[in-house]
């Protein structure tokens, strides 16, 4: 299989920030995926799988790993016997299209989540009361050690996290859905998308929620709004003027600038509310936040 060198990774993310992947491959089949993970293990390299890059912040220096993007058979999805059967690289939008055409409901909550099936498994993506855990039957997980099917329990899906190992790749997934008319599905999706548009910056370059919602009466967004951070800018990175828990790339932003904003947000949340915000966005490369309370 073809291993590309120094591939710009920021361009494969929704926020458009970050340096190159030292090694990069686009497996099209299960054989190629297994071969790529074995190659990385033999070379002593970490593996990082990128989906639609909608929840990642890549370091400005890039990442010294093998980055995989699942294409070919992994990008497809089909409805079969009440199940949605999808590749790990299938976009949620494609899955939603297939389920609607087949009259299968239960996936509508994902209409505003701009990721893939595999990214959704790792993050236990969710919105509007639904999440992957609620509908996932099982997923095929691949690593250099081999491939195995795991149930939602076996994947350890919790609020915006899973127990997947860093080098493990979700190659396929099956979701259990329920009969629902395409007309009703369409109406639900329109309503959810309108709600989303009214509340979040949907037409800006962002990486989705910056922080997980804390165990507090205020959500992370409301908390950062209350401490006056909406619109706060460091270099090209800006806390969204529309929603406190989004960082926008307002023009040639660097990962270091986004990180500095996050550190400042954590400092203020700790100072005002005694809350240590935990980041939801996944860091790629050597990015690290300072302890809560400290700035960069
Ligand atoms: C505008 C906007 C709105 C969003 N709204 C929501 C929301 O409502 N709810 C929500 O939960 N999220 C939301 N997100 C975040 C994001 O879309 C989800 O986390 C999504 O599931 C990430 O999928 P992805 O394919 O883009 O993964 P990436 O962002 O590419 O990667 C995220 C993580 O998943 C891992 N990963 C990706 N593919 C695989 C795979 N095949 N196997 C193993 N690991 C993999 C990556 O290694 C990384 O750790 C939003 C993001 C944006 C930009």
Q: Does residue 202 have a pLDDT over 90?
A: no
Q: Is the CB of 115 under 6 A from ligand 1?
A: yes
> Choosing from 38, 160, 161, 233, which is the catalytic residue?
160
pLDDT at position 40 is 98
In whole angstroms, give the CA distance from residue 240 to residue 155.
Answer: 33
At which residue do the structure tokens 């203020």 appear? 268
Protein residue closest via CA to atom 33 of ligand 1:
119
52, 74, 90, 125: which to mutate for ligand 1, most atoms within 8 A of CB? 125
- Mean pLDDT score, 156-170: 97
32 flagged as catalytic: no
> Is the CB of residue 146 less than 8 Å from the CB of residue 165?
no
Mean pLDDT of the chain: 97
264 flagged as catalytic: no
pLDDT in tens, 49-80: 999 999 999 999 999 999 999 999 999 999 99
Instruction: Compute and round to an integer the Cα radius of gyration of the chain.
Output: 19
């Amino acid at each position: 299989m073809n291993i590309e060198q120094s591939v710009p990774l920021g361009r494969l993310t929704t926020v458009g920030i970050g340096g190159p992947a030292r090694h990069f491959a686009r497996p099209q089949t299960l054989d190629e995926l297994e071969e790529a993970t074995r190659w990385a293990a033999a070379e002593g390299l970490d593996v990082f799988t990128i989906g639609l890059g909608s929840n990642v912040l890549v370091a400005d220096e890039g990442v010294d790993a093998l980055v995989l993007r699942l294409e070919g058979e992994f990008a497809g999805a089909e409805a079969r016997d009440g199940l949605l059967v999808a590749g790990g690289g299938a976009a949620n939008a494609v899955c939603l299209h297939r389920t609607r055409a087949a009259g299968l409901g239960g996936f509508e909550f994902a209409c505003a989540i701009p990721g893939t099936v595999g990214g959704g498994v790792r993050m236990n993506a969710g919105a509007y009361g639904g999440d992957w855990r609620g509908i996932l039957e099982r997923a095929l997980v691949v690593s250099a050690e081999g491939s195995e099917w795991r149930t939602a329990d076996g994947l350890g899906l919790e609020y915006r996290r899973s127990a997947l190992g860093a080098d493990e790749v979700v190659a396929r997934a099956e979701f259990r859905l329920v009969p629902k008319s395409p007309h009703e599905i369409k109406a639900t999706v329109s309503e959810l998308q309108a709600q989303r548009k009214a509340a979040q910056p949907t037409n800006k370059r962002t990486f989705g929620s910056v922080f997980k919602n804390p165990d507090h009466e205020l959500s992370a967004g409301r908390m950062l709004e209350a401490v006056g951070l909406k619109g706060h800018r460091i270099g090209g990175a800006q806390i969204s003027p529309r929603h406190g828990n989004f960082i926008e790339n307002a023009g040639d932003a660097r990962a270091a600038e986004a990180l500095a904003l996050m550190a400042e947000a954590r400092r203020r949340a700790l100072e005002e509310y005694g809350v240590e915000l935990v980041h939801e966005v996944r860091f790629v490369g050597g990015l690290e936040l300072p302890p809560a309370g400290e700035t960069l």
